[in-house]
Amino acid sequence: MSDWETVIGLEIHAQLATRSKIFSGSATAYGAPANSQANLVDLGYPGVLPVLNGAAVRMAVKLGLAINATIAPLSVFARKNYFYPDLPKGYQISQYELPIVAHGALDIVLDDGKVKRIGITRAHLEEDAGKSLHEGLPGVTGVDLNRAGTPLVEIVSEPDLRSAREAVAYMKKVHTLVRYLEICDGNMQEGSFRCDANVSVRHAGEHRFGTRAEIKNLNSFRFVERAINYEVARQIDVLEGGGKVVQETRLYDPDKGETRSMRSKEEANDYRYFPDPDLLPVAIDAALIESVRATLPELPDQKAARFVSQYALPGYDAQVLTASRELADYYEAVTRAAPADPKLAANWVMGELAAALNKESLEIGSSRMTAERLAGLLKRISDQTISGKLAKEVFEAMWSGGTEADAVITARGLRQITDSAAIERVIDEVMQKNPGQLAEYRAGKDKLFGFFVGQVMKATGGKANPAQLNELLKRKLGGSA
Amino acid sequence: MSELHHMGLAELAAGLRARRFSSFELTETFLKRIEASQGALNAFISVTREAALAQAAAADRALAAGTGGALEGVPVAHKDLFCTKGVRTTCGSRMLDKFVSPYDATVVAKLKSAGAVMLGKTNMDEFAMGSSNETSYYGPVRNPWDPRLVPGGSSGGSAAAVAARLVPGATATDTGGSIRQPAALCGITGLKPTYGRVSRYGMVAFASSLDQGGVLTASAADAALMLREMAGFDPNDSTSVEREVPDYVAELDAPLAGLRVGLLQEFFDKGLEPGNEQRIRAALKVFESLGARLSEVSLPNLPLSVPVYYVVAPAECSSNLARFDGVRYGHRCEKPRDLTDLYRRTRGEGFGAEVKRRIMTGTYVLSAGYYDAYYLKAQRVRQLISADFTRAFTGVDVLMGPTTPTPAFPIGAKTSDPITMYLNDIYTIGANLAGLPAVSIPCGFVSELPVGLQIVGPHFSEARLLAAAHAFQRATDWHRRIPAGYA
């Protein structure tokens, strides 16, 4: 088993966040009543013609620049011909031989922390098809053409991915990038971001690729990982059983957790691609490229590198915090308001805050805790008003009550005791109440130190400054004062 | 005053503006002529009498108020592949027999806003595929010069209607000769503009890279006026060209003296009937007498036009016609069993034999493994043909030759042999492949059948072509001849 190598390439479809469709003036908003956002062009009426949406072109160029790709000075739209009820013209307008973006790359971080460069063969513009509807329509198929003509960019990777984990890391990276660039909303449930996975296996060290299967329409990171793992195991089973992998298109069934055959290569359509005579080649000059370049934001990798140098964060923290532009902005807002300890801020954003958001399935953008409030709490930790442990309690109160840290601290009397004399008084009391333990400790049972810490904390309601307590307790228990 | 239907489109426009007659009167005159001829010619698929008279009445009010466009009150007809809002647009096909367009083609809208009154929609070869108007679902159109003969195609209805003076001007489209060939066979003037000069929006597509809307009228002067109102950039058509439209009417009288005319050697070939050649040579003499300088020009790749065309046009048509699937509009078969059955029977029933032949040819040449050998090679040869034209136009201003090899032929004579039929377009296809403007004008008769002279020019030289044609028409009266029975 161990000598099998997995080879994966992903074709990611990202819906471009244009207001109108790629070849018509219809709106692209999701969730409108069926066929309410389809005009005569989208419906493929006789005589209508496509007109390219310049915003879609600019978005594709933006993507190309962000992945260090070549932007084609001339790219060509082609017709992909096949019959299907949700494809009104009987062909999809796509790009075939001359895509707008080619030869790019993205770096992903592997589980062991190593960076791996994934090649991006091409990215091309195309229109989406409509949707066939079966639910609630017994005996017939409904067609909703709202989605028909929605602009997509299809991002095709090289077969550089070697495991389902790598595939997911790459897909997440692309997901992060398109949202940074604000060219796609990344909403996977609504189908704005989805992928097809080309999967094959071969013996390690072999140069030729094995026969691949294409798994269609994966719309969650979890499905990508599971579908690929299932498919890899299936193919290895087939090969080890003396069989051959068939080149085919497969569908992933998330309920059963397995892939099943959709159609084989022999049944595949001959799409009869040819340049669309209704559209001129897309000409992109240096001026357009530069005007798009001027709109590029700081990219995820650049931001992560800056977080490492500017905030002295570990690489892992920087990766996590830059996973989305919103999260990174939040983190930076926290550190701006509480600049004393950027690592502390990172811990809280990645720890308590992330957990609280996760629990309620909230995005950072809809966090109930503003960055300024969180910074208010962190300041009280840094200036030792409260201990880190109590801070968690304060955080919870702030989260559910929507209040400021100082208000919670005051109301609950959680201010940390940093007065040495006060702490010493409590220590003395504890020692008096527990003479047996004191004797045992002094006889060499060091473990009892923790017992005394606990007793003092209990007596102070957890408010004693831990560092001071440690120091004072050590001294007192040792009998030196 | 001569009879109304003897006047050309430009003369009628002027007469209306001078209030010498009303649009209502004019419209009624032409509607009656259409209705009286329908049994004999079958030139129309739909006649929109009520709407036309209402439009004419409105035009008369505008004219009385001294407002209105350049064609205010002038009757026109549209080839039935221009979409007309609220009016059936059939493309001569059973597939669209009941299709009522929800919008106007840009050409239709432009002529409407210029004040033109639409009388109806003209018969045509199914989806513009044919050279004789015999592939129409609505039956063949007959040639007004001899009802046993074809009028040419695919714009046969528009051509027959103008020749018989059922309407002073009609829109038409030309993919491989569909304006010029019927113009020649019916003895009228037909202009195919430069590709991109006239919007294709709302013109049901046959072969998108070749299709171009144009005009059929009695004279070049009429064509100049009608084209001026139709042409221009359209943001809805990416292949239309953003370039100012000259005033073709104002440029009609540009002097012809010194015009360098290239005689296309390849057009004076074995296929050209001697009678036709004689008429063409006589017409060339007229041009010479008007001051044109004639020379011989050779376009070596031009003879490849027909095979190139019959790869490119069917390829595009196979894709363009895929939308007729019975799902959203048009013909749908009864009780389909499943999706495949829906497609198979809808398209099997909706399309006629010639359309099916071209869809199959086109599907074949685009198929994996054949694409390079057919489609790609054809596109390369197409470029060579274009280059031939470009080279020729470095030495001459226009090219001249016959429009067709023969006069009109009998209905049924070529239907059993598609290749013979296709060869009828041998002289016209080149201009489509190169996207050039070309005009056909009547230049005489052979056995009482009209012969057409073709003039081809460089891109956007419509004004030059029309001025040359106009000079010829001032020196001759072939364009004034009206078939017996329609005078």
Q: Between A43, A46, A81, which is nearest B83 by CB?
A: A46
What pLDDT band is residue B415 in, cutting at 50, 70 and 90? Answer: confident
Q: Do both B239 and B329 map to the same domain?
A: no
Contact B235, A41 (CB under 8 A): no
Which architecture does CATH list for A420-477?
Answer: Orthogonal Bundle (1.10)
Cα–Cα distance, B390 to B283 (Å, whole number): 25
pLDDT at residue B219, as a whole number: 98
Number of domains in chain B: 2
Cβ of residue B316 closer than 8 Å to a chain A Cβ: yes
Cβ of residue B270 closer than 8 Å to a chain A Cβ: no
Q: Between A90, A273, A277, which is nearest B323 by CB?
A: A90
What pLDDT band is residue A481 in, cutting at 50, 70 and 90? Answer: very low
In a domain? residue B368: yes
Amino acid type, B156: G
DSSP assignment letter at A72? P
- In this structure, what are the phi and psi dihedrals at residue B68, rounded to the nearest 5 degrees? 100, 165
B 358-397 residues inside an 8 A Cβ radius of A? 363, 366-368, 371, 375
Chain A residues whose C-beta is within 8 A of a chain B C-beta are 40, 43-52, 79, 81, 83, 85, 88-91, 143, 270, 272-274, 277-280
Average confidence (pLDDT) over B261-268 = 94
* Chain A residue nearest residue B81, CA to CA: A47
Contact check, Cβ <8 Å, A91/B319: yes
Kindly report the CATH number assigned to the domain that includes residue B237: 3.90.1300.10
Q: Do both B243 and B326 map to the same domain?
A: no
Full domain range(s) for residue B322: 303-378
Q: What are the residue numbers of the active site of B?
A: 79, 154, 178
pLDDT at residue A444, as a whole number: 87
Q: Which residues contact A182 (CB under 8 A, 6 or more apart)?
A: A17, A297
pLDDT in tens, A203-243: 998 999 999 999 999 999 999 999 999 999 999 999 999 99
Contacts of A274 in chain B (CB under 8 A): 315-316, 319, 366, 371, 375
| Lowest-confidence region among A141-155, A402-416, B14-28, B287-301 | A402-416
Contact check, Cβ <8 Å, A143/B327: yes
Asked, as a colleague might, if the bond just before A75 is cis with ω within 30 of 0, I would say no
Q: Which of B378, B407, B433 is the last residue of a domain?
A: B378
In a domain? residue B412: no
In a domain? residue B311: yes
CA B241 from centre of chain: 20
pLDDT in tens, B9-45: 999 999 999 999 999 999 999 999 999 999 999 999 9
Contact check, Cβ <8 Å, A280/B319: no
pLDDT at residue A480, as a whole number: 56
* Chain B residue nearest residue A275, CA to CA: B316
Cα–Cα distance, B52 to B254 (Å, whole number): 36
Q: Do both B233 and B307 map to the same domain?
A: no
What pLDDT band is residue A2 in, cutting at 50, 70 and 90? Answer: low
What value does the mean pLDDT of chain A take? 93
A4-15 and A151-157 beta bridge pairing:
antiparallel
Q: How many CB pairs under 8 A join A and B?
A: 103
- In this structure, what are the phi and psi dihedrals at residue B415, rounded to the nearest 5 degrees? -70, -25
**In which residue are the tokens 């601290």 written?**
A409
Most confident by average pLDDT, A290-304, A354-368, A418-432: A290-304
Q: Do both B242 and B321 map to the same domain?
A: no
Average confidence (pLDDT) over A150-158 = 98
* Chain B residue nearest residue A53, CA to CA: B238
In a domain? residue B221: yes
Contact A159, A166 (CB under 8 A): no
Return the higher-pLDDT residue of A112 and B156.
Answer: B156
Contact check, Cβ <8 Å, A272/B368: yes
Q: Which of B244, B259, B274 is the last residue of a domain?
A: B259
Cα–Cα distance, B109 to B86 (Å, whole number): 13
Contacts of B90 in chain A (CB under 8 A): none
In a domain? residue B440: no
pLDDT at residue B81, as a whole number: 98
Q: Helix, strand, coil % (nearest 5) of chain A?
A: 40, 20, 40
pLDDT at residue B2, as a whole number: 67
Residue span(s) of chain A under CATH 1.10.10.410 come to 420-477
pTM metric for this prediction: 0.91
Contact check, Cβ <8 Å, B102/A40: yes
pLDDT at residue B113, as a whole number: 97
pLDDT at residue B1, as a whole number: 47
Indicate if the pLDDT at residue A105 is higher than 80: yes
Cα–Cα distance, B295 to B300 (Å, whole number): 16
Contact check, Cβ <8 Å, B205/A47: yes
Q: Pick from A26, A53, A83, A87 the residue to mutate for testing the B interface (most B CBs within 10 Å).
A: A83
In a domain? residue B416: no
Q: Pick from A40, A45, A79 the residue to mutate for testing the B interface (most B CBs within 10 Å).
A: A45
DSSP assignment letter at B291? T
Q: Do both B214 and B332 map to the same domain?
A: no
pLDDT in tens, A172-188: 999 999 999 999 999 99
* Chain B residue nearest residue A87, CA to CA: B323
Q: Which of B225, B259, B293 is the last residue of a domain?
A: B259
Q: Pick from B99, B171, B324, B328 the residue to mutate for testing the A interface (most A CBs within 10 Å).
A: B328
In a domain? residue B480: no
